[in-house]
Chains A and B, each alone.
Chain A
Amino acid sequence: MTLSAQSLLSADSLAQIDKEVAKYPADQKPSAVMAALRIAQVEKGWLAPATIESVAQYLGMPTIAVYEVATFYNMYQLEPCGRHKITVCTNLPCQLQGADTVADYLKQKLGIGFGETTPDGRFTLKEGECMGTCGSGPLCLHNNHTMHAHLSPETVDKLLDELK
């Protein structure tokens, strides 16, 4: 096991993690693991093993325990992905509102399937689970943070044009 004293994360990310850690009692630093992974992923784009090790060291956790969390939730990205990750909800309520059409359109337009990245590294397409706002389906999530509702082939075209 390598003991790198220097964390791979930027000072800005570490400051954000510190803010999350401060929300919990001093002896329960590991409680901030999900937030820390999220912040690390925003900085690095994905969670490489070395990034996970950095988070573990910073929170004083066994690396495997951090890895458990990272593999449990599907919004953590464990492989490199495109600049724009588009996650389309394919659960039943969205499906009934035409999610399949939207997904097929995305696949055809980008030339990739779910879990794949365009050769230019611009887009990654992912299949998502219910995002909790079924009333505004079909839905997609851009880079885990921005939600786009009421999708149709036209709105998808507009969205893809905006994402450079």
Chain B
Amino acid sequence: MPLITIDDQQIEIAAGSTVMDAARAAGIYIPHFCYHKKLSIAASCRMCLIEVEKAPKPLPACATPVTDGMVVRSYSAKAVEAQKGVMEFLLINHPLDCPICDQGGECQLQDIAVGYGGVASRYAEAKRVVKEKDLGPLVATDMTRCIHCSRCVRFGQEIAGIMELGMPGRGEHTEVMPFLEHHVSSELSGNVIDLCPVGALTSKPFRFSARSWEMARRKGISPHDGLGSNLALQVKDNRVMRVTPVDNEAINECWLADRDRFSYQALNSAERLTRPMVKDGGRWVEVDWPKAMAFAAGALKVIRDTHGASAIGFIASPHQTVEELYLFQKLARALGCENIDSRIDRVDFSGRRDGVEWLGMAVTDLNKLDRVLLVASTVRKEQPLIAQRLRQAVKKGAQVNVVHCADDDLLCSVANKLIARPSDLVNILAQVAKAVGADIDGLSDVVVSDAARAMAASLKSGEKKAVLLGAVAQQHPAASELHVLAQAIAKATGATLGFLVDSANAVGAGVVGCRPRQGGLNAAAMFVAPKKAYVILGAEPELDAADSAVAHQALAGAELVIALSPFKTAGADYAQVMLPVAAYAETAGSYVNMEGRLQSWCAAIPPQGEARTAWKVLRVLGNQFGLAGFDQDSAEQVLAEALPEGEATVRARLNNEIADVTVAHLNAAAGIERLGDTAVYQLDAYSRRAPALQVTVDGQVGHAAMACGALIARLGLSEDKPVKVRQSDAEVVFKLMRDDRLPDNVVRLAGGLAAAVQLGPRFGPISLEKM
């Protein structure tokens, strides 16, 4: 390994590293703008010029490879003179508007100008002014401030996988912009805000609302997808003003998906429930906590005493914390009820599972895969940062194979793909299973296509492999058959079977026992055969359930619904009691992510109004019934009780195996069918209440019905026009959009939409009619 000297410090570093890498390893700071550890080298800002012995001119540290015996000086007179010169050039066109710039106080240019800038400018000529660009509802621009570091452009090319920003023009006329007036639509677009070293790209929802030094940074975990991205919740006056990433190489690296970054808006939503409410004669009345608790417990007791504990259903959202879910199931079981579930969007519970479904490997292992089979996963929208990791794997030569109901652009090259209607999915996956020679019964009639054979060949080569089941596979009406086929394919190819878990704490919910045991009913069964009473924690089953219409009917017809939620709109039309509970940033808690990692955090802000942390509410409910074991004093105590060995307890319960499933649904249904995967910004109560996310391209598309051009033409419909969507006797009008990436006879209409509640199941027959 080359040994180099930087500022009299000797550093040994791997050959091929740059001087910048060596300096960073040694803790020596070299000023820079365009250099970023996760992006390619541009060497365009020239701020990192350093003096190298025997080199005639200063060299950029970020682009100079180390050689053995190299002697570098980062703050010699020559280096500093070069850096000061660069600084003077950078400041020529930069406006002196720091007092009104959102980046002020956290601006690299401002910081470095203090060290290297002149006291006054020698430049008296006209400064460059650049026309504003509209990049959409998330990223605000002030392009006159841009110093052309090209970080945002490289981020699009290298990390987000879609080059939406570029640098047209030449020399002084160069401007960062999208093509024409296009908005930036990447689901990772918010990261350019962090990357921009100046105030050219800033957060639109946050703009002008606080200064960086006024906010405290408190750690949090993203409450959305199953990745568990690390957040810095930035708090001022007990309000989360914005969210930025906390570096964690094992999980989110230094990135955040837009959903993680902007969903904090929901915390300050006008829909927050701030006082307990009880329905009195059909009208909501605000009451105090003791009254509300007494009413809730009393009413629940009446139901239990008259109809038995099995007449109650306990439904929790998989976005609640480990502590809350543990006490929730403990309360249910202490009351003698086994109807407990958090898998609201599932419909197929058949087969024998021995543990909790998880990724099957560490998140970082995804980057090292050689072969991947993605089964029915809209991964870019479900787990944007997992898609990013797969993109990095593809760059290193991995082959991604896709079996799905829509030919969504993964923004990386896909080796083989089989796209079929939802009802044909089992058949397609069975073909792959047969082609790899999987040991599984019932495939004798399956005809293997050439494409399936090609996919099998890909999966049989390579070393590290994974078969990953996405959300559509898990929500599919034949989910267990897809699971067993994927398991067989994994076994035959030596791949790891994994689940791309779509909610923040689905793994945690399973581990702490938010699942029905002997004699209990699962979520779907609790709605199909309605219960007399429901206790709902954080969930909105009428939106998230596999069959929203059935769930809504069951809830509306129940004698008693107790809703514990941060939002008053969740359950307002069917609940009898609404208890305001703390949102994710307002409670101490823990999530278990898809790789089984336990991450805990403390409350960043106090709960809004009279809301209480949900674990305390559940504990007091337990006290109201006089139950034993509800005397915890802190979230830590609850966690210690829920997971006595911490992560080890989690690991012991993780298992993706399934048995006792027969593959039977091998024939596709006739007619048009619905693909009701969850829209990216309808995943949970928080994301659907973040206004900025709802007005993005993804947010808008999520509210439309989509079909391919051929189907639209055959039905005599017109794209971008309203259309009547009919499903299970209900009829709702949606905007019809064209998406030629969908197979024929498929209408993609997201689940989780308030407008689509009456339509019912996420999959199944659907029809479109002209208005």
Q: A1-B182, A3-B740 are in contact. Are A67 and B170 (CB under 8 A)?
A: no
Q: A3-B740, A49-B180 are in contact. Are A62 and B168 (CB under 8 A)?
A: no
Taking the complex as formed, is A92 at the interface, i.e. its CB lies under 8 A from any CB of chain B? no
Instruction: State in angstroms the CA–CA spacing of A72 and B173 once bound together.
Output: 9
1/0 per residue, CB under 8 A from B, across A122-153: the answer is 00000000000000000000000000000000
Contact indicator A68/B162 (Cβ below 8 Å)? no
Point out the residues of chain A lying under 8 angstroms from B167, CB to CB: 68
Point out the residues of chain B lying under 8 angstroms from A67, CB to CB: 166, 168, 179
Partner among A1, A3, A53, A71 whose Cβ is within 8 Å of the Cβ of B168: A71
Instruction: State in angstroms the CA–CA spacing of A130 and B133 once bound together.
Output: 34
Taking the complex as formed, is B281 at the interface, i.e. its CB lies under 8 A from any CB of chain A? no
Instruction: State in angstroms the CA–CA spacing of A71 and B165 once bound together.
Output: 14
**Which A51-92 residues have C-beta < 8 A from chain B?**
52-53, 62-65, 67-68, 70-72
Point out the residues of chain A lying under 8 angstroms from B164, CB to CB: 62, 64
Point out the residues of chain B lying under 8 angstroms from A65, CB to CB: 163, 166
1/0 per residue, CB under 8 A from B, across A96-125: the answer is 000000000000000000000000000000
Contact indicator B170/A71 (Cβ below 8 Å)? yes
Point out the residues of chain A lying under 8 angstroms from B162, CB to CB: 62
Point out the residues of chain A lying under 8 angstroms from B740, CB to CB: 3
**Which B301-354 residues have C-beta < 8 A from chain A?**
none
Point out the residues of chain A lying under 8 angstroms from B168, CB to CB: 64, 67-68, 70-72
Closest chain B residue, CB of each to CB of A74: B170
Q: List 13 A-B contacts (CB under 8 A).
A: A1-B182, A49-B180, A52-B179, A62-B166, A64-B163, A64-B166, A64-B177, A65-B163, A71-B168, A71-B169, A71-B170, A72-B168, A72-B169
Contact indicator A64/B178 (Cβ below 8 Å)? yes
- Nearest-Cβ distance from residue A3 to partner chain B, whole angstroms: 7
Point out the residues of chain B lying under 8 angstroms from A49, CB to CB: 179-180
Chain A interface residue count, CB cutoff 8 Å, equals: 14
Chain A residues engaging chain B, CB cutoff 8 angstroms: 1, 3, 49, 52-53, 62-65, 67-68, 70-72
The 7 A-B pairs at the shortest CB distance, nearest first, are namely A64-B166, A62-B163, A71-B168, A64-B179, A63-B179, A68-B166, A68-B168
Which secondary structure characterizes the binding site on chain B?
loop
1/0 per residue, CB under 8 A from A, across B162-192: the answer is 1111111110000001111010000000000
Closest chain A residue, CB of each to CB of B166: A64
Point out the residues of chain A lying under 8 angstroms from B166, CB to CB: 62, 64-65, 67-68
Q: A1-B182, A64-B178 are in contact. Are A72 and B170 (CB under 8 A)?
A: yes
- Nearest-Cβ distance from residue A79 to partner chain B, whole angstroms: 14
Instruction: State in angstroms the CA–CA spacing of A1 and B180 once bound together.
Output: 11
Point out the residues of chain B lying under 8 angstroms from A70, CB to CB: 168
Other contacts beyond A52-B179, A62-B163: 14, CB < 8 A = A3-B740, A49-B179, A49-B180, A62-B162, A62-B164, A62-B179, A64-B163, A64-B164, A64-B165, A64-B168, A65-B163, A65-B166, A67-B168, A70-B168
Closest chain B residue, CB of each to CB of A27: B413
Point out the residues of chain B lying under 8 angstroms from A52, CB to CB: 179
Instruction: State in angstroms the CA–CA spacing of A87 and B178 once bound together.
Output: 30
- Nearest-Cβ distance from residue A96 to partner chain B, whole angstroms: 25
Point out the residues of chain A lying under 8 angstroms from B169, CB to CB: 71-72
Closest chain A residue, CB of each to CB of B173: A71
Instruction: State in angstroms the CA–CA spacing of A135 and B618 once bound together.
Output: 91
- Nearest-Cβ distance from residue A27 to partner chain B, whole angstroms: 10
- Nearest-Cβ distance from residue B700 to partner chain A, whole angstroms: 14
Point out the residues of chain B lying under 8 angstroms from A64, CB to CB: 163-166, 168, 177-179
Closest chain B residue, CB of each to CB of A3: B740
Instruction: State in angstroms the CA–CA spacing of A70 and B178 once bound together.
Output: 14
Among B167, B179, B180, chain A packs the most CB atoms within 10 A around the CB of: B179
Instruction: State in angstroms the CA–CA spacing of A63 and B165 once bound together.
Output: 10
- Nearest-Cβ distance from residue A115 to partner chain B, whole angstroms: 14
Instruction: State in angstroms the CA–CA spacing of A72 and B180 once bound together.
Output: 16
Point out the residues of chain A lying under 8 angstroms from B177, CB to CB: 64
- Nearest-Cβ distance from residue B710 to partner chain A, whole angstroms: 12
Closest chain B residue, CB of each to CB of A64: B166
Among A52, A53, A65, A68, chain B packs the most CB atoms within 10 A around the CB of: A68
